[in-house]
């Protein structure tokens, strides 16, 4: 993998200090804290989380439970009683902001923005005081209600304002490696906040920033939502699993207990077999565009008792400007990136080879969704996936099945290594975090959407792009 010179310089205190003393206009990104250890019951253990906002009703109580049960040490910006019960039950007494020393930093900021007025003053007051206290590589989550649930025009305006605020804040915090994201929680879905909070407030979401995440009640809730080894006893199918993001995803799923069926082309048999041996998984040599691919993968799924997770990672680019693109190149990109995904998913569902409360994750792309020169075929196919999942999500929700897409931004892989150096360097800097992501960043996001704790998230697109400045 090609090295990132600026990130290397930034990681060396001597180099960083010299560049700053000389006043050179070189943007030095903050090396990100990442976590790909096994899921823990209390991932926020010992972390100070500064909490503000309305903190009322069921949303406030659910938020308090989620933070305390995850091990956080709550610091309250204003008095509230919603933490009293959880704090007593879990032995996590709260502190007030006044008790925090002037130089003490916090690990995360959480703000309940569900009751803002038109002036948005409470939003300003909290973050004006709190943002300077956030440590490098910290995390911010703002929680609001969807615009459709607004009681009047003022509430609708305040709700939509959060999107612009969080995206802007993410770009301000990104130079210090910190993230900021928006969670829009539907009324009645408060009990589903814990999974998204654990993902966005920890290093598993290190490359996810400036993004809105909707938590709803569409999919039926499983009876058990474990946060340790959440995929124990589950079977996962991953396409394009021989290398890169696919292999990283297979490793993440296996780490959390899943038996992984690794699907890739027969030409990649050695690579996929090597990953399968490492994980104790099952290599499945199958070209997903073959006429019998859907039937073959249904048979594979049924041979293992059905699947609980399906990750459609396989994809290709066939780049040419439209005037120079042959019909063959057009058809190849659309067939692999879109047609095969729909055929295989529809076949698995029709054959009841997908269990109740299963998770389906599709790999879209920021460059596909935003559009890119020479990628009309790629953009069409990746945007088509979003239309498909939005259609399918409500149809399978009664069975507890969720379907979402991940849209990676610039991720350091063998494909980006092949880019001309000037284009690669520019692409790395065009995000709030000022650097490229790693395959494991995408894998952790896919893993989150594959767990029972993501039940509130369906029919959406989660961008793993570091807060891309284009198309974010």
How far is Cα 191 from Cα 279, in angstroms, rounded to an integer? 33
How far is Cα 155 from Cα 271, in angstroms, rounded to an integer? 54
The residues near 226 (Cβ < 8 Å, ≥ 6 apart) are 232, 452
Q: Write the DSSP string, 309-340.
A: EEEE---------GGG--HHHHHHHHIIIIIH
Angle at 185 between CA 403 and CA 438, to 5 degrees: 55
In the block, tokens 């599709």 appear at 362
Tokens of residue 282, six digits: 């099952």
In the block, tokens 């610091």 appear at 75
How far is Cα 263 from Cα 281, in angstroms, rounded to an integer? 11
Tokens of residue 326, six digits: 């042959």
> HSE-up of 31 (CA within 13 Å, CB side)?
12
The residues near 390 (Cβ < 8 Å, ≥ 6 apart) are 459
Q: Please tell me which residue in 124, 378, 388, 391 is annotated as part of the active site.
A: 378
How far is Cα 298 from Cα 132, in angstroms, rounded to an integer? 53
Residue 388 annotated as catalytic:
no
How far is Cα 288 from Cα 314, in angstroms, rounded to an integer? 8
In the block, tokens 């007030």 appear at 96
Beta-sheet strand order (sheet of 235-239): 282-285, 259-264, 235-239, 307-312, 354-363, 402-408, 461-464
How far is Cα 251 from Cα 258, in angstroms, rounded to an integer? 9
DSSP label at residue 431 = B
Catalytic residues: 378
């Amino acid at each position: 993998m090609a090295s990132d010179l600026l990130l290397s310089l930034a990681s060396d205190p001597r180099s960083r200090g010299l560049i700053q003393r000389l006043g050179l206009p070189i943007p030095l990104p903050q090396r990100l804290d990442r976590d790909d250890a096994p899921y823990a019951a209390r991932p926020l253990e010992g972390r100070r989380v500064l909490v503000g906002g309305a903190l009322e009703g069921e949303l406030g109580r659910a938020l308090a439970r989620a933070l305390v049960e995850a091990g956080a040490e709550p610091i309250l910006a204003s008095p509230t009683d919603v933490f009293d019960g959880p704090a007593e039950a879990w032995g996590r007494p709260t502190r007030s902001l006044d008790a925090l020393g002037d130089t003490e930093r916090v690990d995360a900021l959480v703000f309940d923005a569900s009751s803002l007025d038109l002036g948005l003053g409470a939003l300003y007051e909290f973050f004006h005081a709190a943002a300077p206290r956030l440590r490098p590589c910290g995390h911010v989550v703002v929680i609001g209600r969807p615009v459709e649930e607004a009681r009047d025009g003022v509430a609708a305006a305040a709700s939509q304002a959060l999107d612009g605020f969080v995206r802007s804040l993410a770009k301000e915090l990104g130079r210090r490696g910190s993230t900021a994201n928006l969670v829009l929680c539907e009324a009645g879905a408060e009990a589903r906040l814990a999974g998204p909070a654990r993902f966005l407030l920890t290093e598993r979401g290190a490359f996810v920033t400036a993004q809105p995440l909707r938590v709803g009640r569409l999919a039926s809730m499983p009876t058990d939502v474990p946060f340790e080894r959440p995929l124990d006893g589950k079977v996962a199918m991953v396409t394009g699993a021989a290398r890169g993001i696919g292999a990283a995803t297979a490793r993440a799923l296996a780490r959390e207990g899943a038996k992984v069926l690794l699907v890739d082309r027969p030409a990649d048999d050695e690579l996929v077999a090597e990953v399968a041996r490492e994980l104790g998984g099952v290599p499945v040599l199958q070209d997903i565009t073959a006429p019998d691919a859907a039937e073959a993968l249904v048979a594979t799924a049924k041979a293992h008792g059905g699947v609980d997770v399906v990750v459609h990672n396989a994809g290709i680019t066939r780049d040419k400007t439209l005037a120079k693109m042959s019909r063959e190149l057009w058809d190849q990109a659309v067939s692999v990136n879109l047609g095969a995904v729909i055929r295989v998913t529809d076949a698995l569902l029709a054959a009841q080879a997908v269990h109740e409360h299963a998770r389906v994750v599709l790999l879209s792309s920021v460059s596909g969704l935003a559009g890119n020169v020479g990628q009309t075929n790629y953009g069409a196919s990746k945007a088509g996936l979003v239309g498909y999942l939005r259609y399918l999500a409500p149809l399978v929700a009664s069975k507890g099945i969720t379907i979402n897409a991940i849209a990676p931004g610039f991720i350091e892989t063998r494909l980006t290594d092949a880019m001309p150096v000037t284009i690669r360097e520019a692409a790395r800097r065009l995000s709030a975090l000022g650097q490229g992501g790693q395959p494991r960043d995408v894998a952790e996001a896919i893993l989150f959407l594959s767990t029972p704790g993501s039940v509130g998230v369906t029919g959406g697109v989660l961008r793993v792009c570091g807060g891309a400045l284009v198309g974010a």
